[in-house]
Amino acid sequence: MSTYNTNIEAIRDTEYPNLKGCTYLDHGGTTIPAKSLSETTCADLIQNLYGNPHSDSAPSRLSTARVDEIREQTLRFFHADPDNYDLVFTANATSAIRLVGECFRDYAHATTKSKKISLLGREKSRSFRFGYHRDAHTSLVGLRELSDGKHTCLGSHEEVEQWMTSDPNLNQPTLFAYPGQSNMTGRRLPLTWPKQFRNSRRNAYTLLDAAALSTSSQLEIDRDAPDFTAVSFYKIFGMPDIGALIVRKDSAHMLQQRRYFGGGTVEMVIVLDATWHAKKIEGAIHDQLEEGTLPFHSIIALGHALDIHKKLFTSMAQVSSHTTWLGQYTHASMTSTRHTNGAPVFTIYKDEGAIYGDAATQGATIAFNILRRDQTLVPYTDVEAAADKQNIYVRSGAMCNAGGIATYLQWSERNLRRAHENGHRCHKPIPLVEGRATGVVRISLGAVSTKGDIDAFLEFVRGRYVDDVSTVVDGGCLEKEVGNRDVSFSEKSGHEIGAQEKIGAESIIMFGALYNGYLYGLSFLFNGAFALVFGAKGHGFDTIGVGCCFLGIAAGITIGPVTNLWQERYFQKRVAQNGGQADPEARVQMAKVAAVVPVIASAFWGWSFYTLILMTYTYTEDSYRTYAASALAGLGFIRNLAGGGFPLFGRQLFESQGYQKAGTILAALACALVPIPFILEKYGKRLRLRSPWAREHMEDVSDDEEEREPLLA
């Protein structure tokens, strides 16, 4: 059972002072090194003299001894018996992966050259057979280019297990590569596959990408026995910035035919008169593959990282329990976050079989996008940029996980090519193409993450993207924005009131307020006017008869939601045509009809009441988004004034002016308001361009429109 490690909160201030005042949620990119790790490493390098391990001086021998000691210490950290496994230091996990691919390619080339396999008199190019999981990182996928086209992308568990036994050529080397944990979604894949694959056929080998898995899970190399395992140390400890390849010694022969050689991996090289070299073939596999001088200072730092990590977190099992609890808490909190209409705020991408809280199937990583109230997508780049301004650090994009993006965001090969043709690039993404996200936002948690980090992120989302929370910043957020912790209440109040006064002067809000005020005022005025018009002084109805006169309004209000289903479908169609962006002008179609109804007959007034109120609110909300709460407050203020004021003069109006003249006055007011939906449809975009608050959310503003905007002011 996973548990939250409260000790983390106690060590944050002393060991991670650089996290003070910020929320770091990108441990999948790199975790943060402890202060004591930097101090201990620096003290070691100051106190001791380390030389190049390729020399034979005393400082060099000291470096060699420390590297050998740390190599064994690292193997034991991953529960890998040094008698059965070796560790090759690499620049990073990608270098470890590429090393395996190049060795397999060169092994196939060497065996082809020696055996001279031919087919129909022609020499056959023998390569290795390669399979990779669809959740693989780009660095794993890239190995397919070394396999001469003999590669397969595998999805389900059934596909993987069928592929393992499908090829009849048992003499051909076969490599299966997969991530222990998806770097995009955090899904964890079976660690039983390496043994299962090895036992299913000859020449079967597994490359496990454990870069993501090892950050918050104890690797059990002895138990799971992958042939090759790639790891990245900065993802586990924060530093050093190096990686490693853990090699099962019984499979090491597959790495001994690499054609390239560098310093330290050869016994003899001839360059004059002939080209010949003798590679190291005796001793440990790391001596044959670690080309050039090792990053020995970084390896020395790794030794301290192992010690500090154990001191702070006790064990990887403890880290796993802590992060598993946090992952479950984060997922539960996100799924329960809703807009006021009940619509979800987050769409989370996960495998059906992965369960947050179950460390065997799911890591502490959440991939998601944020949805507006109308369920259109907020561009993931906007989310990261907005969070960054609040000192909340997440990652957004495709996560170097092409298979994950295609699977969870439902991109076909054809659509991906079209997105590329339209200019979408990994380094310069177009976040929404044809209304569909091209990437995600990712939260990845680590050993030093806390519940407070998650709560801070959720507070940010609720304050910016959930529709029922005021966009007026609180004291803490205001302090962060203005950089002043001594902000008085009066200053904060002045800031808020000043902004509300300005936003209340917007044309869009004035239009909406006029309609809301008139309709609400009229609805309250009817309470008195109906008694006069239809009662004893008018048509002579009794009390029940006057009450029945309100049934028409009730029926109209009831019909309103039904007819507005067409309006909503029309709006969603326009959203799809607009690349997933809300189009406020698409909200006014039904309102153009409803605007005329109060002039024609009050029998349809109830229907127009619902339709026009809905239009003014949704149009305002779509226009101002982040500032919608403040904008809608203006509508509500006028509406309440009219609702309270109209009944005060209703009886006097009808008694002093007569029923016909009083009705004419109200009809004239309705006629004056009729053009509003038509104005919004034709000029709404220009009105939004004039507003600094509405303009902020117009993703489709062109350069020409930006240049014209001052002329409209």
CB 353 within 8 A of CB 478: no
Known active-site residue 400: yes
* DSSP H/E element including 269: strand 266-270
* DSSP H/E element including 548: helix 543-548
Tokens of 218: 């104890």
Helices (H) and strands (E) in the chain, counts: 29, 20
- Residue 61 neighbours by CB under 8 Å, 6+ apart: 51
Task: Tell me the C-alpha distance between 577 and 571, whole Å.
Answer: 10
DSSP string, 426-494: SSS--SEETTEES-EEEEE--TT--HHHHHHHHHHHHHHT-TTS--S--HHHHHHHHT-S---HHHHHH
Which among 618, 606, 669 is positioned nearest to 642, based on CA atoms?
669
Task: Tell me the C-alpha distance between 77 and 468, whole Å.
Answer: 49
Task: Tell me the C-alpha distance between 403 and 141, whole Å.
Answer: 9
Which among 211, 221, 189 is positioned nearest to 80, based on CA atoms?
221
- Residue 156 neighbours by CB under 8 Å, 6+ apart: none
Task: Tell me the C-alpha distance between 435 and 572, whole Å.
Answer: 11
Residue from 22, 153, 400, 477 carrying the catalytic annotation: 400
- Cα-trace Rg, the chain: 34
Task: Tell me the C-alpha distance between 619 and 647, whole Å.
Answer: 28
Count of alpha carbons within 13 angstroms of residue 530, beta-carbon side: 20
Q: What is the DSSP letter of 688?
A: H
Q: Say whether 267 sits in a helix, a strand or coil.
A: strand
Task: Tell me the C-alpha distance between 259 and 670, whole Å.
Answer: 86
Catalytic residues: 400
